[in-house]
Structure 1
Amino acid sequence: MAHTETTDLASFSIACAIGASLAFSISDITVRSFSASLPLAEVVLFRSFFGLAFILMIFARGQGLGAALRTRRPLAHAARGLFVVISNVTYFAGLAALPLAEASAIFFVAPLLITALSAVILREHVGPLRWLALAVGMVGVLLIIKPGSISFQWAVLLPALSALAYAGMHTMTRNMGLSESALTLSIYIQLSFVVFCSVMGLVFGRGDWAGTGHPAAEFLLRAWVWPTPVDFGLFALAGAASATGGYLIGQAYRCSAAGLVAPFEYTALVLAAFWGFAIWGEVPGAVSGLGIALILGSGVFVALRERARRLPPSAKRASGRR
């Protein structure tokens, strides 16, 4: 019975991770659509307002904001919020200067870093075959990046920094899942965005630092302007997608080992290739297709390995709460 429950919990976590990847991909392409018109901090600020409202209406189940904000770990939430702000800002700035598939591929060193950090910091067991599978996934990432054919520009460091911050954030998520609900984790993330973007608006909102000519820098520093009604519709879409993705990925990492959840975030890489083709006409080459296949293969292998063995109790069950 315990093994069946653990297997069901693993399936639930996998479904959450895949659903989160879809939601985040919708948020990503929506935010990227503003890269030539509005400043990033303004876009994320409005996205966060809508996201916070969406969380309270859909996921709070009648809880007030005060109840959802109760926590015994405010400093941990602040640190996690800093990680996610750094991850988002650097990733979206990178999207303004790099093709969607390329930026996503560079970012997808993150699940590998999460697995490594979970083994080193959280003492989760990662066997040699899983390390090998994740190494194969890394080879797939490198095939998509094609490092030997990219003329170096500092913008490629942005999604790499985003990946490092993202790995730190979800290592903390796994640790905090023993005491914090997915709702509380999600709300503090949105509030972190609101605080950071408000400060960005006060400092850079007049556009005095703009004019560099670099797409990533301009996305960060251009002057704030009042959005159009269409813009507000896109903000609402991005907010709902971001809130849904944040809630689902928080559930995934609370309920199962980070090494199980992380490979399924590679679903977002396939979605990035799809959206890049459907919206911007970006067509991955044969080498990139091979890279995607290796990444998916490594994720499926890790999932099958995890489902065949007894996973440790989840954070949610260990704490005795649903």
Structure 2
Amino acid sequence: MSVGNNTQLGIALMIATSIVFAGQDGISRHLAAEYNVYMIVMIRYWFFAIFVITIASRKAGGVVAVASSSRPMVQIFRGLLLAVEICVMVTGFTLLGLVESHAVFAAYPLLVAALSGPILGERVGWRRWLAIAIGFIGVLFILKPGFGVFNPAVVVPLIAAVLFATYGLLTRYVARYDATETSVFWTGTVGALAMTVVGVWFWQPMIGLDWAWMGLLCMTGALGHWLLIRCYE
């Protein structure tokens, strides 16, 4: 259920999303240095799930109406894909650092643009293809394959970029059929269920100040993905 094309609004939402995600990633890097990645992502998803269920319960028709999707299997796959991507990316922060991980992860919009034509049937003009080509050259410069300085850890954020690009394409696809709140609901609940199955086995006690950081991480996570889904609409 698309709200229609509005390029300027889409750009503004993407900028806002990037700012929110940048802050979120900094907090994730801090917490991942002290605690298990799966536990961090699990707690973040718990808050996300509570948030989306609370919002859904206040809508007309309640949770059942909001959860009603024209493409439920795609929504489930999206939710699982994002949970895996977050775990991979936070792992990349611990292996490679925040700055270099983001430099490689920056390839994801290029992947979305390159695949939007064959997968979504959207028109990709020559100017966009030129920008994509230049962008990928920049990514290769960062990776430095064949120069004797290749760091295998850069593959981790690159995998995260591929996963997030796929998530973005699927988000754009389901936005044609489902409302924003439906996609956000499935993203939060599916991810929470998946991460609980994994994360409970890696629980670690957390000190008081880090719980404050975790709370901020949870809030930025929910806000960031809501903005992203609105952007793809």
Q: Which range, TM-score by smaller chain? A: 0.7 to 0.9
Q: Per-residue displacement from partner, 1:105-152 (whole Å, max 9, x unpaired)?
A: 111221111111111111111111211122222233344445536343
- Residue number in structure 1 paired with 2:227: 248
- Residue number in structure 1 paired with 2:31: 34
2:131 to 130, 133, 150: 133
Normalized against structure 1, the TM-score is what? 0.65
CA contact (8 A) 2:32 2:40 kept: no
Higher normalized contact order (CA 8 Å, seq sep 6+, divided by chain length): 2
Q: Per-residue displacement from partner, 1:207-242 (whole Å, max 9, x unpaired)?
A: xxxxxxxxxxxxxxxx42132332222222111111
**In 2, Cα distance between equivalents of 1:245 and 1:120:** 27
Q: Per-residue displacement from partner, 1:1-37 (whole Å, max 9, x unpaired)?
A: xxxx85xx11111111111111111111111111222
Q: State the 1:49 CA deviation.
A: 2.0
Aligned-partner SS, 1:126: coil
Aligned residue identity for 1:129: R
Aligned-partner SS, 1:121: helix
- Structure 2 portions without partners, runs of 5+: none
CA contact (8 A) 2:89 2:160 kept: yes
- Structure 1 portions without partners, runs of 5+: 206-222, 255-322
How many residues end up aligned between the 2 structures?
227
**In 2, Cα distance between equivalents of 1:144 and 1:48:** 32
Normalized against structure 2, the TM-score is what? 0.88
2:119 to 121, 129, 138: 121
Identical aligned residues as a percent: 29
1:1-322 to 2 correspondence within 5 Å? 9-55=6-52, 62-63=58-59, 64-147=62-145, 148=147, 150-153=149-152, 155-202=153-200, 205=201, 223-254=202-233
Aligned-partner SS, 1:245: helix
RMSD across aligned positions (CA):
2.2
**In 2, Cα distance between equivalents of 1:231 and 1:84:** 24
Aligned residue identity for 2:108: A
- Describe the shift of the 1:85–1:66 C-alpha distance in structure 2 as closer, same or farther (beyond 3 A): same
Q: State the 1:60 CA deviation.
A: 5.3
CA contact (8 A) 1:102 1:145 kept: no
Higher-Rg structure is 1
**In 1, Cα distance between equivalents of 2:189 and 2:52:** 12
Q: Per-residue displacement from partner, 1:252-296 (whole Å, max 9, x unpaired)?
A: 111xxxxxxxxxxxxxxxxxxxxxxxxxxxxxxxxxxxxxxxxxx
Aligned-partner SS, 2:191: helix
